[in-house]
Every structure is written in structure tokens, then in C-alpha cells.
Amino acid sequence: MNSRGIVSSFFLMRHLAGLALPLALATFVAGCGEGQKQGGAPPPPTVTVSKPVKRTVFDYDEYVGRFTAINSVEVRARVSGYLDKLHFKDGQLVKQGDLLFTIDKRPFQNTLDQARANLVLAQSNVAYTESDYTRGQALVRDKTITDQTFEQRAQAFRNAKASVTANEASVRQAELDLEFTDLRAPVNGRIGDRRVSPGNLVTGGTTGNTTLLAVIVSTDPIYFEFTFDEASYLRYERLAKDGGQDVASRNASVQVALKLIDEGDFDHEGRMDFVDNVIERSTGTIRGRAVFANPNGVFTPGMFGRVRVPGSPPYEGLLVPDVAIGTEQARRYVDVVDGQDTARIKYVTLGQLTSDNLRVIKEGVGPDDRIVVDGLMQARPGTKVHPEEQGTKPAAPAQAGRSPQQSK
């Protein structure tokens, strides 16, 4: 074949290929249209809905605070001497009256023995001067002795009795000093570590230079102290006047709940015990205190916790599962299904979270609203859905937190 024939064949094949491509595209589009016409639109997604739960609830306020011991005692000696023995282990629980320290008793025993001997001597002197005074009474009547001599005998008798009284006091003081060589626990609680080892000189007495031996803090019951602001204090005062619970009272009548930093629920119950009488000018807060039982010693002075106190009178509230609540920037919302089975958004004002993961809704929903609790990702606002009533069972946590922008 010559060159002219080759060129003619090339243009012929290119022309045929150009005709075949539009024909293939037209056939494909026609087939797709026919398939869609035969299949129809997809069915609306199925979601689980439930109506809000009606329940009598309280509003609560939460505050962070610390535990403090009801009793905290510094163990110091009342007498000076060398520390002889220890009778406890560092950090153990002690009971009131338990022996803790012993100071060398020998010097104090000697002092007591000397005081007792002086008392016997004084008592003997009283017996002698009393008999001399009795004889003098008869002699002065017979003018055998002068009045001055009789007065001297009477004075000696009075001095002897005074000496007995003084020596009795010396004996009692010596007995006290000997008793003070045994240092016992003044309260029930947990003792810290020893500050002085045996063999060291301990300075005792009532001055400020006494030696600190150990510190005991009570553990059961225990205080929990926290502060709240002036606005809350006024709200509590008005709540009490309206017949609600008097949080700011000091009669231990208001029940509160507490949880530790590693706990999820407020499982520890206590009562308000004290509210201070002055609002701090620098912070605008006032100090409150609750008391809790601590039989297992879990609460330790200085430990942080979170307390929850009543903040409103009881009222009838609407509650929805907490996982049904979404977030749009600073606003919260729930998906509801209207009478035409169309998903809608309602913005809500939230209240407290209950122990069974229901959230109080203060504003935004009504008692007959159908709240989407499962299938939140399928409930796009403005689209049709197929609602199914399944009570108030919460949806899976993985479906919470969707915003309207993510749905569109």
C-alpha cells in the first residue's frame, strides 16, 4: 500500500472512533436513568425517640474544698526531762488515753519521796505544837505563863498547820509531775511521726519553748470546708425564707453529698455543720463547713473533694438522656421529630445531671416532644425519619456531641 492509502485509512479509523464514543456515553446515561427509575428513592433512616421523663428534682450547686480534722492536738511534755521510751509506731491510729511517750521518772520519783517526807515532818510538828498549845491554855488561866508566851505557842501551832497544808500541796504537785512523765493521747485519731527520739532532752512546761513530740489529728468524723460567693449566700438565705432548705443555717439540718477526685458519683452523704459569720472582703466569699462520717479513714485532712449542696426548692422537671444533647458552639440542643416525622433542632437550657445519666432540661422542650436518643447521625435537620418508640434508653456515647454543621 502506498503512502496515500495509509493516510486515508488512519483518518477513517479516527472518524469511526469519534462516532463510537458519544454512542457509548448515551447508552450508559440511558441505562443509569432506567436503573434509578426502577429502584426509587431510599427509605428514611430509622431513629429511636422517647418523650422527656417527668421527675421531682432539686438544683444543686457544686464547690471544691478540703477536708480538715475536727481535732488537731500537738503532743508536748508538761515536765522537762530525758525522753525514755516510745510506745507507738509512726502514723498509727491511737485511742484517747493510749500511752505514747515516757520521760525518765527517777528524778520525779525522788522529788515525790522528798515531798512526802516533808509532809510527815510537818504533821509531826503539828502534833507537838498542838499539845503545847493545849497545855498553855490551862497555864495561862492559872497565871503560870504570861499572855505573850501563850500567844507564841498559839502562833507556833498555826504555823505548823500551815506547813502541813503547804507540804500536802507539794506532794500533790510532785505526784502530778510524776504522772506527767507518761504522755498519753488526748483524743482519738491518727498520730504523725515522732519529732524526738529517746535519749533527747525534752523541754516541758506552759511556756512557748516546749518541745513538740508529735501531732494527732482526729479522723472520724471529719470536716469538709469550702467557700461560696456572696450571691449564692443571698440565694440560700432567700431560699430558706421561701420554705426551702436553709443551706446557710448552722443546725446541721441540710444534707449534702460529696465525691473525691477519683470518683464519678456523689456517694458520700453528710450534713452542713457551720457557715461563717463574716464575708471575706478580699474575695467576696464566705466559708461553709460540712461534717462527714469517716469510719474507714478514707478521708484525710488536706484532701480535696467536691461537695454538692441544694440550690433550689423541689420542682417538677423534664429529663432526657444526656447523650441526646448536642453542642453548637456555646449553645446546646436536642433533635426532635415533629408530627410529620421530620427531624428538627430545639435549643435547650440545661440543668443538673442525675446519677442515672439523665439531664434536666429547664427550657426548650415540652413533655410531648419526641427526642431522638439513638440514630443521631441519621437525624439530619429538615429530613424525614422513621421514628421508633423505645422508652428512654440512652444512646451509645459515640453518637453524642454532633453539631448541626456536621449534619448538613
How high is the mean pLDDT in each 10-residue block of the chain (408 residues)?
A: 44 44 45 50 83 84 93 92 93 92 94 94 88 80 79 87 93 94 93 92 86 92 93 84 64 82 88 89 91 91 91 82 85 87 88 81 86 83 82 40 38
Residue 37 located in a structural domain: no
Q: Which DSSP symbol is given to 140?
A: H
Residue 40 located in a structural domain: no
d(CA 220, CA 94): 12
DSSP-derived 3-state class of residue 387: strand
CATH of the domain at 93: 2.40.50.100
Q: Which domain holds residue 300?
A: 60-69+220-310
Residue 97 located in a structural domain: yes
d(CA 389, CA 51): 9
Q: Phi and psi (nearest 5°) for 271?
A: -140, 145
d(CA 371, CA 379): 11
Distance of CA 53 to the CA centre of its chain: 31
Residue 120 located in a structural domain: yes
Q: What is the pLDDT of residue 218?
A: 92
Same domain, yes or no, for 242 and 364?
Answer: no
Q: Of 179, 207, 229, which closes a domain?
A: 179
Number of structural domains, the chain? 5
β-bridge partners, 336: 344, 371
Cell numbers placing 226: 469550702
Same domain, yes or no, for 160 and 137?
Answer: yes
Q: What is the pLDDT of residue 119?
A: 93
Q: Of 169, 199, 215, which closes a domain?
A: 215
Same domain, yes or no, for 324 and 338?
Answer: yes
Q: What is the pLDDT of residue 396?
A: 38
Same domain, yes or no, for 330 and 373?
Answer: yes
Residue 276 located in a structural domain: yes
Q: How many CA atoms lie within 13 A of 405 on its CB side?
A: 4
Q: What is the pLDDT of residue 243?
A: 62
Same domain, yes or no, for 9 and 52?
Answer: no
Q: What is the pLDDT of residue 19?
A: 45
Q: Of 310, 342, 360, which closes a domain?
A: 310
pTM: 0.66
